[in-house]
Amino acid sequence: MKRILVFDMDGVLVDVTDSYREAICQTVALYTGERPSRELIQEFKNRGGFNNDWVLTHRLVTDAGVETTYEDVVARFNELFLGRNYDGLITRERWIAAGGLLERLAANWKLAIFTSRMRYELDATLARFGFAGLFDPTITHEDVERPKPAPEGLLAIAGAHPDAEVWYAGDTIDDANAARAAGVPFIGIAAPGSPGRGALIDCLRAAGARAIIDDINHLEGVLPA
């Protein structure tokens, strides 16, 4: 039987602590004069419905009593994250998979991505780390009508391969709920030392995670043989 291992991107394949999470903090500070804590950001992530960092950033700004449009927040965020020519905070991302891991997995699994990133953001990061051709398909924000926690991306992958066994690895409650809605086994990622890790583990466990691991370098120990 064909097997497909689908990855979320942020916090799973790449560490976005100093890219997306930092862009949230800096954007909010531009409007409010104060940086939100990383713990507060994770609290919102654990609630669900804030998988999109633009949505979360706009919420944090308006919660602070500042009136601005969502579109303006997105523009400011992207100036920080992308820079002028992909030379912004995006360059601070760190590839998480140790050398050889993905190649070993690819020997037994078809590798795919379902992310809330925009296509241009995903492609830039995959190209920078040299993995542009490893994942197929790659489903991004533009490819679905309803974002996570809706299961649309996972259902599209499963529907294109009706005889395949599909698994999903992600690091948020929205990832877990998307997998549950799609009927796909889910492996949760909870990085040691991350803000709100205990609460995240509780959320992922309650959502039915088959296993919860520190990072994807532990995948081979929890995937079916």
pLDDT computed for residue 225 by the predictor: 81
Alpha helices in the chain (DSSP H): 20-32, 38-47, 53-63, 70-82, 101-106, 119-129, 152-160, 173-182, 197-206
Longest distance between any two alpha carbons in the chain, whole Å: 55
List b or e across 189-223, with b for residues whose CB sees 16 or more CB atoms inside 10 angstroms.
Answer: bbbeebbbeebbeebbeebebebbbebbeebeeeb
Residues 6+ apart with CB under 8 A from 84: none
The upper half-sphere exposure of residue 217, i.e. CA atoms within 13 Å in the direction of its Cβ, equals: 10
Question: What contacts 217, CB < 8 A, 6 or more positions away?
Answer: 96, 97, 98, 101
What stretches in the chain show pLDDT beneath 50?
none
Q: Which residues pair with 166 in a beta bridge?
A: 4
Ordered DSSP codes for 54-96: HHHHHHHHHHTT----HHHHHHHHHHHHHTTTT-SGGGG-EE-
For the four alpha carbons of 27, 52, 81 and 35, in that order, the dihedral sign comes to positive
Burial of 22 (0-12, 13-18, 19+ CB in 10 A): middle
Q: What is the pLDDT of residue 1?
A: 66
Rounded to two decimals, the pTM is 0.94
Q: Is the peptide bond before 185 cis (omega within 30 degrees of 0)?
A: no
Phi, psi of 205 (to 5 degrees): -65, -45
pLDDT in tens, 5-55: 999 999 999 999 999 999 999 999 999 999 999 999 999 999 999 989 999
Give the contacts of 38 (CB within 8 A, at least 6 positions apart). 21, 25, 195
